[in-house]
Structure 1
Amino acid sequence: MAPTVVENNIVLSASEKETTLADRNTHATRVAGKGADPEEKALFASVTKRIDYTPKIGTELHGIKLSQLTEQQGEELAALIAERGVVWFRDQDDLDYKEHVRLGKRWGPLHVHPLVPHSQDNPEVIVLDSRLSPPSRFNTNDSWHSDVSFEPAPASFSILKFEEIPEAGGDTIWSNGYELYDDLSPPIQHLLQGLTATHSSDIFKILTQSSGRKTFGKLNDSEHPVIRTNPVTGWKSVYTNPVFTREINGVTPAESKWILDYLGDLIAKKLQYQVRFHWEKNSVAIWDNRSTFHTGVPDFRPYQRRGVRVTVSGEKPFYDPQSGTQAKAWEATAKAIVAKQEAAEAKAKAETDAKVAASVVGA
């Protein structure tokens, strides 16, 4: 029987006994954040500063300690993440492994990764350490992905904290699947809505073959809709990614390659869909895998970095033809922003006119 290989309390390779760890993975029995207060009053009562990195994706919140969230705040945070795609927090030094796991379990069962090294005491906590060999993070230029989309019930949320960061480099970029869908022409939207795709763990199968490592559970292949409805926002999103989506079902190989290459190019190259985050020690990112894609930027060598992540298993992906879009929901927000700007400009003009008039009278 092959022994468990442990390094600094990190399980690198499974024994026969541990090969069933990931077989206990299951799906969420409820949708976290659905039905939360749309104004998220409880959450923002504790927020001292909000920074929206772009209009449609990415928000940083200050004043929140994730280890101290109330149940209501946790539900409202889940709703905000589904809406904004990714939410960041700084200075979360008290989010240890126990609190990290507890936070994830608020929103659903935690996924045990079938291959990536994990904490010996907390198998749900995977370790992304650039020192590990073979590397536990596939940081290449084409590593845009949605976490564990090869699972029958893939990730809803991922919660990543970096304990050690490089002196330079090592950012993470997210891309907005809602906006990607919204920008497709109606004929292409219609085509994709009727398709499914096979998501595969082939990248991990290749690694096990080349390294001889045992997995912690089955490496799955799963079929999911190409256009997915987010159950929290009710918005449509593209749900394919360059790392795990093997093929589009029901079309020719050439057609499948064309569709996947086209969508992959949009994910990677359309800057208006993207948001970039520069890590600090004890920063935390929480993102919605149902509606975003992400990649690490492999530019930090020879520096090292180390992060820990828990991944929340979600529902089986589905497509609802009646679901809405971010673009439609955004119309009211955009009008409110324009109205606010116009009011500010009108006020500034009135104040300037008043000063001019006063100076004329004074003269």
Structure 2
Amino acid sequence: MSPTPVVHGIVLSGDEKDASLAERNTHATRVAGKGVDPEKKALFASVTKRIDYSPKLGTELHGIKLAQLTDQQAEELAAFISERGVVFFRDQDDLDNKEHVRLGRRWGPLHVHPFVPHNQQDPEIIVLDSRISPPTRFNTNDSWHSDVSFEPAPASYSILKFEEIPESGGNTIWSNGYELYDDLSQPIKTLLEGLTATHSSDIFKLLVQTSGRKTFGQLNDSVHPVIRTNPVTGWKSVFINPVFTREINGVTPAESKWILDYLGDLIVKKLQYQVRFNWEKNSVAIWDNRSNYHTGVPDFKPYHRRGVRVTVSGEIPYYDPNSGTQAKAWEATANAIIAKQEAAEKAKADAEANNSAKTA
């Protein structure tokens, strides 16, 4: 039996002993965050500062230590991540490998990636190190995707921490699948809601051939609905991505290409769907793969970066025609913001009028 290739505690390739590690992957048996307190009072009791990166996507929370969350806070955080798409944290130096794994397991079974290098002691922790990753754009950079959508039960949440960051560059960008769905015309929505797509691990199969590395388990292909219901929020989102979605089923190849190209173009080019995160050492991002896409920005050479990620396996994707939308849920929030702005403007105008009257 040949030894497993290991570099600095990172397992680079499978061998006879661990070639079936990923076969343990399964789906979630419950939906973390579903039905929690809408105000999330337990979570926000510890928050000292909140920064929303855009109205509908991305929030940075200060005052939270992920390694110290109570069970109630962890459940409320899962719900908040599903609503905001991605949530960012700074200064999480105490989120070591043990705590990283523990946090992920609070939300579901952890995924073992069938190809990406992982931590020797904890195979659920994949290592994203620019020094050892294959020299291909289909790495962690320049490749819009949702994590492991080729699996029968793709990722719900991903928890990524960067331990080493480049002196410049190396940001990550997220794009909002809820908003992409909401902006489509009704005829296109109706078309897509009746379709499924095949998500493939073809790129990893190609890397197996070109790199000579062996897998940690089967490289799957899976069929999922093109429009997916997020079980936490109950909102619809588009569920395809440029990396892992091979084809739209039940249409001609030309139609499949048109649909995938059109939706992929929106993911990549619609800036109003996107937020960008500037990493610092020990920053953490947690996102919901069911309703978002992300890509690393490949602009940090000759610097390096190294991150570790835990990926939570979710439920088998489904579409409920009675699902709601982020746009509808957002109406009440938007109206409250408008009312607050109008009240502030009225108060300012009244104060100016009173001051004018006093000086008249």
Which TM-score band applies after superposition, normalised by the shorter structure? over 0.9
Corresponding position of 1:196 = 196
Alpha-carbon distance in 2 for matches of 1:140, 1:6: 23
Corresponding position of 1:181 = 181
Alpha-carbon distance in 1 for matches of 2:316, 2:140: 27
| Bigger mean CA offset, 110-119 vs 1-10 | 1-10
Corresponding position of 1:160 = 160
Q: CA deviation at 1:212?
A: 1.3
Secondary structure of 2:12's aligned partner: strand
8 Å CA contact 1:196, 1:225 repeated in 2: yes
8 Å CA contact 1:129, 1:135 repeated in 2: no
Secondary structure of 1:174's aligned partner: strand
- Structure 1 residue runs of 4 or more that deviate by more than 3 Å after TM superposition: none
8 Å CA contact 2:133, 2:139 repeated in 1: no
Which digits, 9 at most, give the CA deviation of each residue in 1:291-335, with x for residues without a partner? 000000000111110000000000000000000100111111110
Cα separation, partners in 2 of 1:102 and 1:289, compared to 1, 3 Å: same
Question: 5 Å matches for 1:317-328?
Answer: 317-328=317-328
Alpha-carbon distance in 2 for matches of 1:348, 1:214: 67
Corresponding position of 2:339 = 339
Q: CA deviation at 1:354?
A: 1.4
Secondary structure of 1:320's aligned partner: coil
Cα separation, partners in 2 of 1:46 and 1:133, compared to 1, 3 Å: closer
Question: 5 Å matches for 1:233-272?
Answer: 233-272=233-272
Question: 5 Å matches for 1:347-362?
Answer: 347-360=347-360
Question: 5 Å matches for 1:294-309?
Answer: 294-309=294-309
Alpha-carbon distance in 2 for matches of 1:9, 1:109: 23
Question: 5 Å matches for 1:66-215?
Answer: 66-135=66-135, 138-141=139-142, 143-215=143-215
Alpha-carbon distance in 1 for matches of 2:353, 2:175: 45
Alpha-carbon distance in 2 for matches of 1:140, 1:7: 22
Corresponding position of 1:34 = 34
Secondary structure of 2:19's aligned partner: helix
Alpha-carbon distance in 2 for matches of 1:259, 1:195: 11
Which digits, 9 at most, give the CA deviation of each residue in 1:42-62, with x for residues without a partner? 000000000101000000000
Uncovered stretches (5+) of structure 1, i.e. residues with no partner: none
8 Å CA contact 2:147, 2:154 repeated in 1: yes
Alpha-carbon distance in 2 for matches of 1:87, 1:281: 16
Which digits, 9 at most, give the CA deviation of each residue in 1:147-193, with x for residues without a partner? 00000000000000000101100000000000000000000000000
Cα separation, partners in 2 of 1:217 and 1:192, compared to 1, 3 Å: same
Structure-1-length-normalised TM-score:
0.98
Uncovered stretches (5+) of structure 2, i.e. residues with no partner: none
Matched letter for residue 287 of structure 1: W
Alpha-carbon distance in 2 for matches of 1:30, 1:139: 29
Q: CA deviation at 1:113?
A: 0.2
Alpha-carbon distance in 2 for matches of 1:135, 1:210: 11
Secondary structure of 2:310's aligned partner: strand
Corresponding position of 2:285 = 285
Q: CA deviation at 1:2?
A: 3.2
8 Å CA contact 2:128, 2:140 repeated in 1: no
Alpha-carbon distance in 2 for matches of 1:139, 1:83: 24
Matched letter for residue 167 of structure 1: E
Secondary structure of 1:159's aligned partner: strand
For these two proteins, the number of residue pairs brought into alignment is 359
- Identical aligned residues as a percent: 79
Secondary structure of 1:18's aligned partner: coil
Corresponding position of 1:219 = 219
Q: CA deviation at 1:3?
A: 2.0
Matched letter for residue 234 of structure 2: G
Which digits, 9 at most, give the CA deviation of each residue in 1:59-90, with x for residues without a partner? 00000000000000000000000000000000
Which digits, 9 at most, give the CA deviation of each residue in 1:101-147, with x for residues without a partner? 00000000000000000000000000000011535971443x10000
Q: CA deviation at 1:359?
A: 1.8
Q: Cα RMSD between the aligned structures?
A: 0.9
Cα separation, partners in 2 of 1:76 and 1:140, compared to 1, 3 Å: closer
Alpha-carbon distance in 1 for matches of 2:65, 2:297: 27
Corresponding position of 1:58 = 58
Secondary structure of 2:327's aligned partner: helix
Secondary structure of 2:159's aligned partner: strand
Secondary structure of 1:127's aligned partner: strand
8 Å CA contact 1:3, 1:14 repeated in 2: no
Alpha-carbon distance in 1 for matches of 2:140, 2:157: 20
Matched letter for residue 326 of structure 1: Q
Structure-2-length-normalised TM-score:
0.98
Q: CA deviation at 1:350?
A: 1.1
Alpha-carbon distance in 1 for matches of 2:344, 2:133: 56
Alpha-carbon distance in 2 for matches of 1:41, 1:55: 21
